[in-house]
Amino acid sequence: MPAAETLLTRDRILATAEDVIRRFGPAKATVVDVARALGVSHAAVYRHVATKAELRDLVVGRWAEATMAPLRAIAALRDPAPRRLRKLFDALIAVKRRRAAEDPELFAAYRTLAADAQSVVTAHVDELIELAAMIIRFGVKEGTFRTVDPVAAGRALLFATSRFHHPAHAAEWVDPAVDATYNDVWRMLMEGLRVTKRPG
């Protein structure tokens, strides 16, 4: 077996797949194209990745996973829930904008590939909802949020703010008013979620 094939790992395959997609577009997210870029046989790649569909799912999953570490860290903080929830969504928006600006080719390709990787995207969205729900549960317990279904509220927050972090809206993020609009939306959402203090 050639040395290049002996040293082949799934991580190396996925890193190469990202590079191929960045340079040539999502249509090149195939086992044969990645094998060619690695200088190995497609059979060698197939030992790690069973199909083109699996390769694309893994690329989308790798891309999504790279956004999650800071979000998980924020959800695990013990800051007051309203502050922590805002930090979570600010970080989600920041990481998506940064990736769109720093790696626009891969970001655009990710949008295309994600349309066919529904199970991966669903798992990613479900985790985002659960991170928000974790904070909302804490807020209900500490008395800063109304008694609500945390998962339903987390889902509502994610979709209500989608213009500011969903890749389909990336072209809108250069609008100078986008941050002010986000603040306005957030204020309204929190008015519905926070416990209303009674006068007196």
Please state, as a whole number, how many other Cβ atoms lie within 10 Å of the Cβ of residue 8. Answer: 20
How confident is the model over 64-87, as pLDDT tens digits?
898 999 999 999 999 999 999 999
Average pLDDT over residues 94-112: 88
Query: At 194, is the secondary structure helix, strand, or coil?
Result: strand
The proportion of the chain whose per-residue pLDDT surpasses 70, expressed as a percent, equals 95
Of all residues in the chain, what percent carry a pLDDT higher than 90? 64
Q: At residue 199, does pLDDT exceed 70?
A: no
**Which has more confidence, 19 or 177?**
177
Determine the CATH number of domain 63-193: 1.10.357.10
State the pLDDT confidence band at 138, using cuts at 50, 70 and 90: very high
Using pLDDT thresholds of 50, 70 and 90, give the confidence band for residue 4: low
For residue 200, pLDDT beyond 80: no
- Average pLDDT in the chain: 91
What's the DSSP call for residue 50? -
Q: How far apart are CA 32 and CA 103, in angstroms?
A: 24
Listed in sequence order, the DSSP H helices in the chain are 3-6, 10-24, 31-38, 42-46, 52-65, 68-75, 81-102, 104-114, 118-142, 150-160, 178-193
For CATH 1.10.357.10, list the domain ranges present in the chain: 63-193
> Which residues of the chain form CATH 1.10.10?
3-50
Fold of 3-50: Arc Repressor Mutant, subunit A (1.10.10)
Per-residue model confidence as pLDDT tens digits over 34-49: 999 999 998 999 999 9
Q: What is the pLDDT of residues 46-68, one digit of tens each?
A: 999 988 888 888 888 988 898 99
